[in-house]
């Protein structure tokens, strides 16, 4: 039976092989036909290679999306790129994956370098590895900003081509459609196609409002809005030139100023964030060099004082890094792509127990404290909610208190360990002990440890008790043959060590100090908001000049009134958004009164002048006459805008350099020079006292 089965199986295998050979021959014959050869010729040179960078990034995107920690960064990048690459999923995935891959290629070698440099300092290593999380955000934001800046530069070329297309077609939507077919500028083509779809839709006004919410920058909003108004109300000639093209020229000039401003800010701040971080990598090499060259400094660097100095430098570095980032970010007009719908704070606040606890700290609505906090958030343009800020404050407070207690306990433990492990000897100020002296010093330390362990915890022990134990050799036999003078000297030294070990316990004032640190951490989010608001005040003049450009574009368009101008200003406002929104809401109840209230709500004089011109345009004179100086003094305002940007960048650069170089100065002065000088003088003083007593 088995032979029959084998025979049938052999027949089946041979038959299958014959079928495969026959199919192959038929396929080869068909491939040689003229039609197939023609298709192969057409496909030659156009086929995508089996392995390309684009395909690799697409595959990596899927892998990153499944990786828990990396997925957070991927989605953060994606939110930014989705705005730029409208409806282009393939391009968004590719760019997001590329940016994340490049960031990983920077972070991984840096992590290995940190571990190699700080492997003997666990605290410093942990801090730097945690710090890399913030550094990764900086690297990613920088790469995304490059794409955003690339879009801005593409817009200038796009507007230049629009001018030629508009001359040819004399229709806004047709000119936009024609230029949007350019495949060389992919990001801008996507935006142009979207604007074209808005203009030809059944409800262009509604679709335009939707586009305002997703436009990557204010200049595309202005372009879309001006194009819509021109399409609806028609173009007109002003001094023999097209008003639409003149407005495009105004927007282009604004973009050119913005590009110059961004380039200068990038140049000023490109290394400041790095400068504020890099010095802490030299802490361990500085410590090793100082200890190897000047042995007397080991008591400082390996003791409590050195560790406290390290912690202060690390905290200072972290604060300076955050402030430097805040300072630079205020110079950008990029949209806030933070997930403001459902962040981790919102998920945490949904827990009933946590919600009830957090609500105890949040000031009641209508109170002075609540209004003050709301105003600070508005001034800082914060997208967070008050409850999210208080969750951050409470968590920072709790975490800081716990870390402070743990660090204080760690410092006590360091002192105790140093007592047990430091060599007991008086050695030279410069250089290190010889191997023979080191061996003798360690033997003396081990001998002292026996007595410390025996008498530790006994607060009533005296020098006489220790001397008596040494003399009788009850603990060890090291001092049986020693003289009384030697025994008393050793007993005094051991007693000092015992008192030091007994005193290294958690004290009440250290708990109080931890509470002070916790209170500081609790207030840190508010202080950061105030700092951000202060930096935003530097941008007021720049925003008012943007308002002047918007008014210049709108004032000669027919059917444009003061209310439309206010709506446009509200749309593009950042610093003055809240008072303008209030004015728009109150406009129906009385234009003059609403504008008067707007003047009371703001204190910046240049903006007040704009409001006064709007008041004149409400009842007395046409809008074009109310703002005629904007047109006649356009060159002056452009020059003033450039000079204002120069002053803004100069002021930010001065503040940024002061903040960025602070850690470097503190490390070299506070961690190297001062300890060397102070401890050296103390050591020399002790040596001189010893010499004087010996004589």
Q: pLDDT per residue over 423-437, tens digit each?
A: 776 554 445 566 777
pLDDT confidence of residue 515: 93
pLDDT attached to residue 330? 46
The CA distance from 651 to 157, in Å, is: 31
Q: What is the mean pLDDT of residues 49-54?
A: 66
CA–CA separation, 287 and 284 (whole Å) = 5
pLDDT band at residue 402 under the 50/70/90 scheme: very high
| Rounded Cα gap, residues 11 and 15, in angstroms | 6
Q: Band the pLDDT of 512: cuts 50, 70, 90.
A: very high
- The Cα 566–Cα 622 span in angstroms is 15
The Cα–Cα gap between 451 and 457 comes to 12
Residue 117 parent element (H or E): helix 89-117
| Among candidate residues 492, 379, 131, the one with its CA nearest the CA of residue 279 | 131
Query: What number is the average pLDDT over the span 552-563?
Result: 83
Percent of the chain with pLDDT over 90: 4
Q: What is the pLDDT of residue 452?
A: 80
Q: What is the pLDDT of residues 336-378, one digit of tens each?
A: 444 445 577 888 888 888 888 988 888 888 888 888 888 888 7
Provide the pLDDT confidence category of residue 95 given band limits of 50, 70 and 90: confident
**Would you say residue 24 has pLDDT above 80?**
no
| pTM (global) more than 0.85 | no
Residue from 89, 222, 86, 77 nearest 159 by CA: 222
Is the pLDDT higher at 310 or at 29?
A: 310
Q: What is the pLDDT of residues 253-282, one digit of tens each?
A: 888 888 888 888 888 887 777 787 777 778
- Calpha distance 508→408 (Å, rounded): 12
CA proximity to 73, closest of 146, 171, 7, 140: 140
Residues 6 or more apart whose CB falls under 8 angstroms from that of 683 comprise: 296, 429
Least confident of 39-53, 68-82, 301-315, 563-577: 39-53
Bigger pLDDT: 631 or 344?
344
Q: What is the structure's pLDDT at 13? A: 57
Distance, CA of 587 to CA of 581 (rounded, Å): 10
Q: How confident is the model at residue 543 (pLDDT cuts 50, 70, 90)?
A: confident
The answer to whether 219 touches 187, Cβ cutoff 8 Å, is no
Q: Are the beta carbons of 80 and 101 closer than 8 angstroms?
A: no
Q: CA–CA separation, 48 vs 192, rounded Å? A: 28
Per domain, the residue ranges of the chain are 61-234, 339-535, 539-633
Residues 166, 680: Cα–Cα separation, whole Å:
79
| pLDDT on residue 336 | 46
User: What is the average per-residue pLDDT within 382-398?
Assistant: 88
> What does the CA dihedral 520, 526, 527, 531 come to, rounded to 10 degrees?
170
Which range (41-55, 270-284, 618-632) has the least confidence?
Answer: 41-55
């Amino acid at each position: 039976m088995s032979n029959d089965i084998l025979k049938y199986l052999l027949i089946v295998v041979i038959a299958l092989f014959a079928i495969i050979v026959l199919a192959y021959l038929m396929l080869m014959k068909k491939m040689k036909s003229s039609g197939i050869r023609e298709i192969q010729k057409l496909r030659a040179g156009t086929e995508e290679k089996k392995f390309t960078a684009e395909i690799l990034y697409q595959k990596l995107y899927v892998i990153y999306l499944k990786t828990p920690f990396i997925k957070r960064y991927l989605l953060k990048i994606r939110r930014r790129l989705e705005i730029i690459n409208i409806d282009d999923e393939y391009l968004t995935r590719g760019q997001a994956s590329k940016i994340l891959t490049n960031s990983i290629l920077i972070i991984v070698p840096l992590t290995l370098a940190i571990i190699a440099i700080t492997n003997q300092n666990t605290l410093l290593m942990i801090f730097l590895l945690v710090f890399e999380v913030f550094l990764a955000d900086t690297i990613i934001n920088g790469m995304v900003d490059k794409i955003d800046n690339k879009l801005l530069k593409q817009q200038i070329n796009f507007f230049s081509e629009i001018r030629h297309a508009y001359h040819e077609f004399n229709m806004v939507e047709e000119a936009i459609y024609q230029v949007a077919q350019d495949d060389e500028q992919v990001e801008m083509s996507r935006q142009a196609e979207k604007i074209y779809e808005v203009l030809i839709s059944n409800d262009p006004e509604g679709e335009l409002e939707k586009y305002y919410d997703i436009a990557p920058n204010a200049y595309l909003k202005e372009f879309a809005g001006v194009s819509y108004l021109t399409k609806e109300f028609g173009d007109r000639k002003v001094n023999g030139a097209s008003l639409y093209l003149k407005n495009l020229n105004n927007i282009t000039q604004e973009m050119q100023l913005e590009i110059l401003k961004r380039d200068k800010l990038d140049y000023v701040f490109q290394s400041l964030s790095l400068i504020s971080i890099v010095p802490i990598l030299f802490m361990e090499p500085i410590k090793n060099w100082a200890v190897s060259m000047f042995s007397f400094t080991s008591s400082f660097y390996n003791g409590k004082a050195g560790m406290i100095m390290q912690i202060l430098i690390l905290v200072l570095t972290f604060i300076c890094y955050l402030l430097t980032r805040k300072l630079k970010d205020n110079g950008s007009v990029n949209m806030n792509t933070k997930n403001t719908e459902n962040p981790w704070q919102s998920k945490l606040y949904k827990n009933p127990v946590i919600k009830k606890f957090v609500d105890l700290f949040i000031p009641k609505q209508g109170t002075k404290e609540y209004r003050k906090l709301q105003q600070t958030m508005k001034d800082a343009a914060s997208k967070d909610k008050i409850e999210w800020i208080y969750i951050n404050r409470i968590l920072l407070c709790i975490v800081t208190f716990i870390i402070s207690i743990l660090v204080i306990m760690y410092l006590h433990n360091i002192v105790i360990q140093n007592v047990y492990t430091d060599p007991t000897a008086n050695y030279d100020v410069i250089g290190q002990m010889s191997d023979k002296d080191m061996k003798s010093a360690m033997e003396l330390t081990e001998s002292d440890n026996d007595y410390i362990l025996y008498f530790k915890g006994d607060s009533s022990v005296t020098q006489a008790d220790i001397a008596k134990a040494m003399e009788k050799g009850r603990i060890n036999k090291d001092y049986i043959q020693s003289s009384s003078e030697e025994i008393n000297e050793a007993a005094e030294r051991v007693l000092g060590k015992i008192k030091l070990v007994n005193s290294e316990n958690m004290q009440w004032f250290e708990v109080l100090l931890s509470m002070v640190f916790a209170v500081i951490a609790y207030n840190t989010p508010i202080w950061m908001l105030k700092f951000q608001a202060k930096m935003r005040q530097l941008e007021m003049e720049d925003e008012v000049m943007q308002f002047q450009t918007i008014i210049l574009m709108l004032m000669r368009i027919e059917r444009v009134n003061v209310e439309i101008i206010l709506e446009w200003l509200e749309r593009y406002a950042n610093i003055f958004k809240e008072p303008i929104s209030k004015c728009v809401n109150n406009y129906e109840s009385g234009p003059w009164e609403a504008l008067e209230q707007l003047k009371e709500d703001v204190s910046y004089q240049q903006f007040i002048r704009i409001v006064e011109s709007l008041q004149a345009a409400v009842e007395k004179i046409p809008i074009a006459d109310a703002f005629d100086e904007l047109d006649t003094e356009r060159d002056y305002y452009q020059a003033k805008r450039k000079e204002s940007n120069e002053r803004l960048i100069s002021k930010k650069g001065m503040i940024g350099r002061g903040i960025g170089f602070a850690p470097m100065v503190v490390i070299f002065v506070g961690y190297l020079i001062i300890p060397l000088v102070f401890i050296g003088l103390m050591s020399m003083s002790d040596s001189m006292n010893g010499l004087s007593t010996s004589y």
